[in-house]
Amino acid sequence: MMKWFKTIPVRVMGISILFGLVFWIIDGYFEFLFFHDNLSFLLLEGPETYLESIIFKVSPHSLFVRCSFIVGILVAGVLVSMFVFKQKQMEQDLRESEESFRNLFENATAGMYRSTIDGSKMLSVNNKLAEIFGYSIDEILSEPAMIRWARPEDRKEMIRQIQDKRILTDREVDVFTKGGDIRTLLASIKTYPEKGYIEGTVIDITERKRAEEALQRAHDDLEKRVEERTIELSKINEDLQKEIIERKHIEEQIKASLEEKEILLREIHHRVKNNFEIISSLLDMSSMHTENIETQNLLAGARTRIHSMALIHTQLYQSVRFDQIDMKKHIQELMNYLSHAYTDKGKKVNSMIESSDVYLSVNQAVPCALVLNELIANSFKHAFRKRKSGTVRVSIINSTDDTVLLKVKDDGDGMLEGFDLNNTTGLGLKLVSHLVTGQLKGEMNISNDGGTEIRIQFKRIK
């Protein structure tokens, strides 16, 4: 098509000349007729007159032919000029396109080349390809055999695929560089059998392959470490399971032992309580066999002290915990017992208890119970000798700094004038003083204003 298009000016010019010749022949024919018609005029008038007539006398047919010939020549000239300008413009665009392609080819980031179908000769290569292999462009063009394959079977396989499909896309191959290094390339090739060459591109993916291999090695190493750690953790888990089973077994043994000890402790407290009750009964029986009032009072005091301690063991026997005694509950039971034991008929003594949740250990609860017994019993026995009614108030609360504050107050007659706790002869108050300072490690204060009030303060022992 392009060859035919290039011959258009020649064809136009030839057609124009052909038509001019045809019209010229026609014009000669009409001139012959004109000459024949005027032959007689030539013979009659002479040659000079005839020549003058043919110069100044032109036939209409001749004028049309000559004008047509001139117009054809002009049209052919215009067409030829237009085509020559267009062809030059196309040639300029083609040169610019080839220059752009050449720049793109030479400065491409991928290696590009063109070679013969059999690969025996390189027709063109770009700078990147020469850079990849370490050769100059002239060296590769002059000796294609310089390109050595790390694995010859790759080249055979590529040739087979190209012959079968005429195209090869993204095939990884290993080649040697000029310095002997192995580079991994990503090759793509397309054949043009009708043009007698092949074109190909190669991308150097060596660093990417090394990174992938390093990543794969790291992944494999991580997998190996995870597997080793998993085995280690499995072993640890098995050991832990065994240890858990052993601990559960030990806990069960401890629990069984604790249950057994709790049963024994309850039994001990129960027997202590029973023993206290037996002792109390014996003292009561002894009191019944004597008529000495002082002896009876001594036995009664001993009996109330024993009962106070028995209340502690009763609570321990009934409680689920053996390390804490509920003092509020103990005071209520003790007040009821002492009120019944010491209030004479005809007297009405009220009992009032003010208590927060105070819990004491056995080591502090027993001496505290004895102190309460003595103080409350003294109030019931001695505070209301001259009166038939009154009130006994008992208070036990948790104070600051883990301190317990105990108060026993009555609104009775009060202490006798000149009373001195340190010089008292009464067994009860001596016992109270000894228990407070000796076992509870506390302090005791007595006031005698509107009755008797005894304040005891001691630190809680955990």
Confidence label for 3 from pLDDT (cuts 50, 70 and 90): very low
d(CA 264, CA 271): 10
Coil/strand/helix, residue 419: coil
pLDDT per residue as tens digits for the range 160-195? 777 777 788 888 888 888 888 888 888 888 888 888
For the ranges 28-42, 193-207, 265-279, the maximum mean pLDDT occurs at 193-207
In the chain, what are the helix, strand and coil shares in percent, each to the nearest 5? 65, 20, 20
Q: Which amino acid appears at position 44 of this protein? A: L
Q: Nearest to residue 185, comparing CAs of 147, 218, 223?
A: 147
Q: What is the mean pLDDT of residues 216-227?
A: 93
pLDDT per residue as tens digits for the range 440-462? 999 998 888 878 899 999 998 76
pTM: 0.44
Size of the chain, expressed as the number of residues it contains: 462
The packing angle between helices 206-288 and 293-318, to 10°, is 160
CA trace torsion 21, 24, 29, 33 (10° rounding): 180
d(CA 315, CA 330): 8
d(CA 139, CA 148): 14
Instruction: Compare 452 and 267 and report the one with higher pLDDT.
Output: 452
Q: Nearest to residue 369, comparing CAs of 334, 322, 402?
A: 334
d(CA 119, CA 117): 5
d(CA 31, CA 57): 11
Q: Nearest to residue 428, comparing CAs of 342, 364, 361?
A: 342
Predicted pLDDT at 412: 83
CB 448 within 8 A of CB 419: yes
CA 22 from centre of chain: 97
